[in-house]
Amino acid sequence: MPNFLAFDLGAESGRAVLGILDGATLRLSEQHRFLQPNGRLNGHLHWNLLTQWEELKTGLRKAAASLPSGQKIAALGVDTWGVDYGLIGEDGQILSNPFMYRDSRTDGAMEQAFAKVSRDRIFQITGIQFMSLNTLFQLFAANRDHPKLIDAAQTLLFMPDLFNYLFTGRRKSELSIASTSQMIDPRTGKWATDLLRDLNLPTHLLPEIIPSATIIGPLRADVAEECGTDLLQVVAPGCHDTASAVAAVPAQGGNWCYISSGTWSLMGVEADRPIINELSARLNYTNEIGVGGKIRFLKNIMGLWLVQECRRALAKAGQEYSYAELTRLASQSTPFKAWISPEHAPFGSPGKMLTKITEFCQQTHQPAPTTPGEFVRTCLESLAMTYRRTLEGLEQILGHKIDVIHIVGGGTQNELLNQMTADACGRPVVAGPVEATAIGNILAQAIAVGQIRTLADARAIVRNSFDVKRYDPRDTAAWDEAYGRFQK
């Protein structure tokens, strides 16, 4: 019964989860959890890399100490959110704390890049949804604003690749995380170097790309000694958290879509090849790469970040609520009072979410929410309607109906949103497992070391090991009537 350790780092929190693979079942044990350290430094938002690294070592230390005598950790793997990166200098040192994707330095960078290379050409090469936070535009802004820092760098590593470097000393980029950058061609899985040169961006920074479920190498001896463990194998699972989450969707057949629900909601399907055409460009869908080389054809949607920011704003005003309390208040509030667009640009930056929602409602001539429950209900109903619009876009592009929606990740715990999604979309929703990302991470490690063979085998283990909950559509007529108002 091999033990695998998954480090699953989300935008709000991180965790170390130990997985024990016992034949056709998997058992999980959370060893460590922490809030993601970040903050503002010299006017910019950064991740606190040193604190993150210490938290990972704490997780490894706790996991190693938790095992009975004679048992060992076979491997570890790291997954994180996409697009953010760190820079390695010639001497191997990390040059600065990585920027957060919500930092304002990329404001206007996308439009400046389009002046050099057209939006259409960028999409035809990369097939990636346009967002100013994409690595392509982060690097464009960095090269514009801090050229000396870029000149001093030897290697660019995305966040999970950066932690893998600290664990092993090896500089590799795993394919799923690289595919979030808008800097590769998803048809080939190679860097789009011609595009980068046309944007006057350096290509010497780009490391070798390796497939998901690849052994990178053994743990550094000094890290192993510090954490009280052996020189276990470090594996690149699906290093993008959504890639790992999708690998753990307990689906069968092919007529389903997924929502990886957390700070972000990523909604899409698995495809055998990229879908890059006029319609997918116009509707702004994305082609990222998943475990097993599958294409994750999806849309990135501002997810429960909206609720997280409402909670922070309320706490700042002296009103402390748990997420469960806010969801209960939302369930008791008047339905369909107001709508917001989760994609509205100001919602993506931290702070003043209640004010931003109020201003949006005023600008769109709607009655604004006034109570905590109304604010959260507005966010949840608007997310459910955005899922419906995204589902319609998927069906239009694919040319067939999707029968069931699988929701995985931390957002599955919000039963109100799950039921709203079923009602708004008119499809059954299957919610679970909650820890899908850590599960997918662990099962990709098991594939890498030869314990299981395929992605289908991994999903069978998920079905054998974890409970799910089904939500059938109920009051669809009311949601159908409200959808027209949401669209306006």
List the catalytic residues: 241
* Residue 230 CB neighbour total at 10 angstroms: 13
Between CA 33 and CA 63 the distance in angstroms is: 12
Please state, in angstroms and as integers, the Cα–Cα distance from residue 76 to each residue in 157, 408, 451, following that order. 18, 22, 14
Residue 265: both structure tokens together: 């909601």
The per-residue DSSP string of 334-365 comes to PTTS----TT-GGGGSSS-HHHHHHHHHHHTT
Q: Which two tokens stand for residue 126?
A: 């990369």
- How far is residue 218's CA from residue 1's CA, in Å, rounded to a whole number? 20
d(CA 442, CA 428): 28
Q: Which residues of 419-454 are buried (b: 16+ CB within 10 A; e: fewer)?
A: bbbbbbbebebbbbbbbbbbbbbbbbbbbbeebbee
Tell me if 249 sits within 8 A of 408, measured CB to CB: yes
Q: How far is CA 484 from CA 40, 239, 481, in A?
A: 41, 39, 6
